[in-house]
Amino acid sequence: MSKPLKRKRRPSEIVQSPKPSKVTVLADLLRVTEQAGTMEISRDYFRANSRFRDKWNMYWVSFKAFLAAGMADDDLYYQALVELVDEDAGE
């Protein structure tokens, strides 16, 4: 009995997922944090409730550093906040 051959995909059929920006991933952290309310955000909670799962590790070395960036009072935080508000307004 022979195995069925797998059909190779043409390059046009391969779906590339776009790499989210650092601001987009941080905006998603702010969204998940807002949904969680007073509950502490764990890595597993973020994975389960985020659209980007583990994409945070493309920009931050640890989840703790990622959470700290979500609470920092800097330009990146404000860019993410603007993106979150624009996203909410678009819904």
**pLDDT tens digits along 55-89:** 999 999 999 999 999 988 888 888 888 888 887 77
* N-to-C CA span, the chain: 54
C-alpha 65/C-alpha 63 separation (Å) is 5
- The pTM of this model reads 0.73
pLDDT tens digit sequence for 2-47: 666 666 656 555 555 678 999 999 999 999 999 998 889 999 999 9
- What separation in angstroms does the CA of 23 have from each of 7, 37, 69, 72? 38, 21, 10, 13
The total of other beta-carbon atoms located within 10 Å of residue 5's CB is 6
